Structure formats: structure tokens, C-alpha cells
Chains A and B, each alone.
Chain A
């Protein structure tokens, strides 16, 4: 167990810079999730933590020790690669048992731990197979098994559940959380899955183009996104954005979209006529019989909830409704917005107001 400190880390590949001064503080035993669009540098950061990638500038310390020049083997970390990285010439059993074998554990211990991990991962019937005889999801579970048989200082997971079916994913999610609670090991976890990020993380790090956009607890990011990017990235379906300006009506500030739609705003210190981006999450749009009218364009029922795309004047609005609604495309509905749920961003700087 150890804390991890990433300070002003920069990564350059010959002449391209892909990481521009990343700072992340990870407490001992914390579950940190890295999210961000494809190519933003999540894997690169993980590889630098593992010691597989040289750190061009800045420092990384694990457990108070600067590890910039420490080789991977001596960092005491376990990692699940995005590409699984199984040993093609070893059976599933030998793949999972490899780290234990390298640690010179007795055969009986290896056998016991591997068998246990295989049970957890539902791999017990595949132990004699070679990686090329497995499906993508099975390979991913083998990679996972190779990590969880160990008791390292830090776990690094690079999208470890991306190839599993929905049911298995939920099981594995629980399994990983359980592992975390049992061992209390620090975990850095990369994912594209919103639910994984929100449910598993103590702390989420949102990255974009090799920079950290915001760090915070899942609900903190959900409630108080620092800028338009984080607001749009966290939450699914993603937030509605409407461009417009702040106007004053009857002595009260309101939002006036570029196309003339008027919406309520919370208490704020935006200037009158300031160009802003108005953000409201689909689940915060109350669809009903009262309020602003809108014309339904598309209805997407998912069973538990219904997603409605509608036009309010010229603006396209995405609303998420808990109940089944029988609206057909073209029909009229109304919606209301609680100003408390509104996020306002400056249009120039994209920062929260």
C-alpha cells in the first residue's frame, strides 16, 4: 500500500509532446479513476507510473520514494494492459501464476492462489488452454487474474473490463471493489465507462490532450464541473449546452439563447450581456404538461427510462424521463428547469461562472 504523487509530469516522444505537466495526488488506499477521450494520455500516464515509459520531466513518487529511475520490477505494481499482454506460449494457469513464480512462491501456494483467482474470474475450466484459444473477454479475465493474485503497492488497470459482456462487467466491477475493500490497495483505473467511473472511484481525474481538466469525487464532478469539457464528459447522456447571453428581465437575470429561447438561471455573478454557455443535464429537465413547450423529434425508450429528443423553438434538447411516456414524434410536450440544476459557463474561456 502506498500513496502516489504525480508532479508536473511531462512526456515527449522525440518531438511531439503528449503530456503537458500533469499533477495528481493519490492517497494511500484510494481508488482513482482516469477518464478522458481516446488519445488523451491515460495509458501513457499509467505506463509512466509502471515505469514502462520514461518520464520526460517532473517526478512520480510511490510511497514517498521518487521512482523516476526505478525499473518496473522494483516498483511493486501490478498492471492490466489495455491489450491484455498475455504470454502466448504459456497456459492460462502459467499466465496467472507467472508473477508468483517470479516471486519464488512455492508451487502449492501458486496452485492455491491461481485456482482461487480462476474461480473468481470464472476461468477454472480454461486453465489448460493457451491464450490463442480464448475469446477476447476470457483473455481479459486472464490478464485480470494475473494482477489479482498479487498483493502489490499499487494496482494499475487500463480498461480491464472493456471487452466483457454487460453481466460479467457488473460482476467484475463488484469483484474489483471487493478486492479494493479487502486489500485496501491503491488503485489507478482507466475506463471509458461512465458507470464504472462513477460507482468505483473515490476520485476521478478527467484528462484532455495530456492535461488534467479536473480532479474530484464523482458527485463533485457531476455537480460542479469546472468547465464545459468536464460538464460534457461526465454524465451520461451528456449535458445539453445552449449558447446565448445573460439578459435582465423584470429585474431578474435570465438566459437568452442566440435563437431567442428564454431559460431560468440560478443566482450568479455573470455580467449582463455576457456571452455564456448554458448547461442542463437531460435528467434535470422535468417533462410534463406545464412550462416551456417543445416538439418531440425522437423518443428512445430503454425500459427503465425514456430519452426524449425535442425541439424547444430552434434548440435541440435532450431530456431523460424516468417514466414511460407515450409521446410520438411530432407531438407537443412541456418542460421545466429548476435553476438550481443549471450550470453556466463563460463562452470565451469555457470556465464555470
Chain B
């Protein structure tokens, strides 16, 4: 029991910080989400309006549009990142000249702030000055204008996100692959499994925990992407890339609609939790209650 007390004392600073910077703001956001609050308007006081904000959100076409765009973005980006990340991780498991060098530079996008990534990609994609539209036009005769074409804007953001975050997936999967025991793979070869079967029956189940953790991290991050998109398209053209994060931002800051903005945040958090939970259950549960 003495060590238990010591444990709490040692944990106390962390818990305090967590409380003041995590729990308290969260509770406050939930609190605000039940109010109408426009602190910079003529009547800045907080007015309790029950579930009105939540009722409004269900019929808010701008929000529903954001939700759809965000889900599409998350699906495209995270699935691509996991697949490309896994292939890169496998490539880095092999020996090739300059491996250490490539492994180092491939992580460089990770250390760039999202806002910088956004501005660099804006430079690269702006029609007439950007390198990407230039070569797309020169080599393939494709004209790309993220300012006017919704698909161009959307997929540019997807590609940008893949470029930015795939290294994270690669790194965690390398760590998972390196720590795998070698025996089961040799045994599987002996047992007559081909490469595809080894992947599905041995590799995937054995890296599943790391893979799921990575997918969670990417999912949560992708669901609240703001900075790069804000920098690159500002949510346009129209509202075609107005992701949830961007939507909340526009709701809260230009319109100073704090109450409704908080409501959207709470809903987004709730959806994130639901998605992660579904994923967790579908990927981990089958192997805990399977019968032979």
C-alpha cells in the first residue's frame, strides 16, 4: 500500500496537468455546447438553449456536407497510407545500398509543421506557377486547377496527406516487423504457405496490434485536419474541401459562434470514438472468441 501512495504522488503532476489542460476544457466545451454564445456580438452573454444546437446540427446541410467530405478524405488518405506505409516498411526490411540514408530522409515530411506543408503544397500546385500543374500539363496534357476544380482540390489534399503522414505508418510498421519472431515465418514456408498466405495468416495477425494503433492515430489526426487544408484551399472551391475542422474553425472564428462550434466539436469527438471503437471491435474481437 505504501508503494501505491508513492505511485499516486509521482503521478500527481501528470494528472493535474491532464486535468487542467484536458479534462477541464473538455467539460467546458460540453458545457458551452448547450448554450448560445456569441462573445463578440452585441449581446455577449451565454444563453442556455438546451439541445437546440444538437437539433440544429442534424439538419445543418453545411455540417453534413463537411462530414461527408471528411469521411471520404479519411478513407482515401488512411487506407492509402496504410498500404503504402506497409510496402515501404517491407522494403526497408530488406538490405539495399543507401538504406540508412533513405530511411532517414523518408521521415523528413513528419517533422514539418502542417502549416508549412500546406504552404509548400500551395506553392507547388498554384496554377501557372506550381511545378505540379506545369508538368501534368507538359507530360500528360492534364490541366489541374485546385482553385476551380473540386476533385483536383480534394485529391491534392489526399495526396498531400499521404505524403505527409505515410512515414509515420512506415516507422511504426518497421518497428512491428523488426520485433516479429523469425520462426513462424520459416515454419509457414515449410507448411506450404505461399507469400500471399503468409501475409494473411501470419504477418497480418502478428502485426495487427501495431497496425491498429497506427490506424487509430492516423484516423484521429485525419478527422481533425485543419491547417494544411486551410493553407492550401481554405475549404474551397465552394465547400468541396471544407472538412470538419475547417468547418468548425469558420463557424467559431469568423462568425464567433462559440456555442454551435462547441456542439460540432462534441459531435466530431463522439463520431471519432464510435469509429475507433467499431474498428477495434471488428479487428481484435474475432480472434479472442473464435472456436477451433
Kindly provide the distance from the CB of B169 to the nearest chain A CB, expressed in whole angstroms: 21
Q: Is B69 an interface residue (CB 8 A)?
A: no
A76 closest partner in B (C-beta): B192
Q: Is the CB of A81 within 8 A of B187?
A: yes
CA distance A93 to B290 in the complex (A): 11
Name the CB-closest residue of A to B184: A87
Per the 8 Å Cβ criterion, residues 91-124 of A in contact with B are 91-94, 98-99, 102-103
B180 to chain A, nearest CB (A): 10
Tell me if B128 counts as interface (CB < 8 A to partner A): no
- Name the CB-closest residue of B to A71: B189
Q: Given A87-B184, A94-B292, A102-B197, are A73 and B189 neighbors across the interface (CB < 8 Å)? A: yes
* Contacts between the two chains (Cβ within 8 Å), count: 64
Contact partner of A99 (CB less than 8 A), chosen from B181, B186, B192, B194, is B192
Question: What residue in chain A is nearest B180 (Cβ atoms)?
Answer: A88
Q: Is the CB of A89 within 8 A of B190?
A: no
Query: In residues 64-79 of chain A, which contact B (Cβ within 8 Å)?
Result: 71-73, 77-79
Tell whether A50 is near chain B: CB-to-CB under 8 Å.
Answer: yes
Which one of B74-82, B131-139, B200-208 contacts A? B200-208
With both chains docked as a complex, state the minimum distance between the C-beta of B289 and any C-beta of chain A, in angstroms.
Answer: 11
Please indicate the chain A residues that have their CB under 8 angstroms from the CB of B192 in the complex: 73, 99, 102-103
- A52 interface residue, CB < 8 Å from B? yes
Number of residues from B at the complex interface, CB < 8 A: 21
Q: Which residues of chain B are within 8 angstroms of A127 by Cβ–Cβ distance?
A: 292
Query: Would you call B292 and A91 a contact (CB within 8 A)?
Result: yes
| Chain A residue nearest in CB terms to B287 | A89
Which range contains the number of A residues in contact with the other chain? 20 to 34
B191 interfacial contact with A, CB 8 Å: yes
Task: Say yes or no for A83: interface residue by CB 8 A criterion.
Answer: yes
* Alpha-carbon distance A85/B193, docked complex (angstroms): 15
Chain B residues with CB under 8 Å of A73's CB are 189-190, 192-194
Contacts of B190 in A (CB 8 A): 50, 52, 72-73, 77-79
Which residue from chain B places its CB closest to the CB of A74 in the assembled complex? Answer: B192
Q: Does B188 make an interface contact (CB < 8 A)?
A: yes
Q: Mark A39-74, 1 if CB is under 8 A from B, else 0.
A: 000000000001110000000000000000001110
Q: Are A98 and B191 in contact (CB under 8 A)?
A: yes
Q: How far is the CB of B194 from chain A (nearest CB, A)?
A: 6
- A86 CB–B CB distance under 8 Å: yes
Q: Is B183 located at the chain interface by the 8 A CB criterion? A: yes
Which residue of A81, A99, A103 contacts B183 across the interface (Cβ within 8 Å)?
A81
Q: Which A residues have a C-beta under 8 Å from some C-beta of B?
A: 50-52, 71-73, 77-79, 81, 83-94, 98-99, 102-103, 127-128, 146
B interface residue numbers (CB < 8 A to A): 181, 183-184, 186-194, 197, 201-202, 205-206, 287, 290-292
| Sampled A-B contacts (19; CB under 8 Å) | A52-B189, A52-B190, A73-B192, A73-B193, A77-B190, A81-B183, A81-B186, A85-B183, A85-B186, A86-B184, A86-B187, A87-B184, A87-B201, A88-B184, A88-B206, A98-B193, A103-B192, A127-B292, A146-B191
